[in-house]
Amino acid sequence: MHRVCSTSHQASRLSGYRPLRLLHRKAIAAASITRTPRDTLFTQRAIHSTANPIQKLNQQPLSHNQPSPYTRAASTTATPPNPTIHELFEETSGTWQYLVSDPKTDKAVIIDPVLNYDPATQVITTSTADDILSKIKDKGYKIDKILETHAHADHLSAAAYLQARLAKEQGFKPPVCIGKRIEQVQTLFAKRYGVPEKEYVRVFDRLFDDDEVFSIGELKAKAVHLPGHTPDHLGYMIGENLFCGDSLFHTDIGTARCDFPGGSARDLYASGRKLLSLPDHYKIWTGHDYPPEGRNEPVPWISVRDHKRLNKHLKEGICEEEFVALRRERDSGLKAPRLLHQSLQVNIRAGRLPGVEESGFRFLRVPLVGGEW
């Protein structure tokens, strides 16, 4: 059993910390850890599916008496060269994860998978990633790559866990891929958190150049640089779909924050305009959704046409200066992500946990503020 502990710069003076344990489901049950039932959502949509609110599998359809502002498409089948897309919503972090396959060859990629982490108990579990593995097995897919859009600051990546499991189950290890600018992000946060070089240098298997083209079976995909939220941020163009990570959100939310190190509202504006220059019928698949009051269900994609008409931050008519002022005002009132420190330390390691120390535990470092007297 692997154990990880959360510590701080003053950990030597603190007592009563709780070890963070990496447990399998049976071990959790044996330890009588009480967990609420998972409320995750896994649906399959081919790329021509509608933008209707997603339904939980045991839920009656929502009422559609109110007219929708969104354009609809009728077909529900994947048409080459477009992929088949499965989406999984991780509710705790509000993260959309994607399983994207070539319908001709059943080769597939995973985009932005989540590792479950409870900061109250310091327990890491793999239930969300295991749902992805179940879908892969059910569909008979072979995972060609695991794609990260950036070093996330709000959830831990399950890339390393999935890579290890898939290496055993399919007989080869899919590379974990990210944009080439991850190295500057790794250097910055490794210094901040005291991460040893051996745990973050060359831990990603492939670093994409801007506009680099790669294959998913017979499909062609492209890495698209979308800075703003972070400097290393990529999107992935697959067929008529752009997986935009944390750049554009649902039209009623707008865009992602830009107040992280290296973030830039001007860069995000340019990235947003790049996305909205795509053909109107292209679908933009977001990395997160946080449904506001009046919208009960998360939505994974919205067309370019509807973003141009309805996105509250980037719709047609909003100029760069207006966007920058709006984004900076919004960011000034945001709190730091709940899992900021834990996420960055794991994600610059490509989803790997810190090494085991002499005590037999793994440790994450959490800086303390104040305490001067």
Can you give the CATH number for the domain in which 269 is found? 3.60.15.10
Range of the domain at 232: 77-339
In a domain, 302, yes or no: yes
- Asked if residue 40 is part of any domain, the answer here is no
Question: Residue 56: inside a domain, yes or no?
Answer: no
With respect to residue 93, please indicate whether it lies within any of the assigned structural domains.
yes
CB-neighbour burial class of residue 26 (10 A; exposed 0-12, middle 13-18, buried 19+): exposed
SS3 state of residue 363: strand
Task: Look at the pTM and tell me if it is higher than 0.85.
Answer: no
What is the DSSP code (8-state) at residue 230? S
| pLDDT of 371 | 76
Tokens coding 28: 């959790």
- For position 4, what pLDDT does the model report? 55
- Tell me, yes or no, whether 245 lies in a domain: yes
Distance CA(250)–CA(271), nearest Å, equals 16
Using DSSP, state whether 225 is helix, strand or coil. strand
Rounded mean pLDDT of the chain? 85
- In whole angstroms, give the CA distance from residue 292 to residue 327: 18
How far apart (Å, rounded) are the C-alpha atoms in residues 341 and 321?
32
Classify residue 360: in a domain, yes or no.
Answer: no
Say which residues have a Cβ less than 8 Å from residue 365's Cβ, sequence separation at least 6: 7, 8, 9, 193, 194, 341, 345
- Establish if 94 belongs to a structural domain: yes
Q: What is the pLDDT of residue 15?
A: 34
Render 310-356 in DSSP notation, one character per residue: H-TTTSTT--HHHHHHHHHHHHHTPPPPTTHHHHHHHHTTTTPPPPP
Q: Specify the pLDDT at position 5.
A: 54
What total of structural domains would you count in the chain? 1
pLDDT at res. 242: 98
Q: Which residue ranges of the chain lie beneath pLDDT 70?
A: 1-80
Q: Which helix (H) or strand (E) holds 157?
A: strand 156-157
272 is a domain residue: yes
- In angstroms, the Cα distances linking 245 to 68, 112, 355 are 25, 8, 29
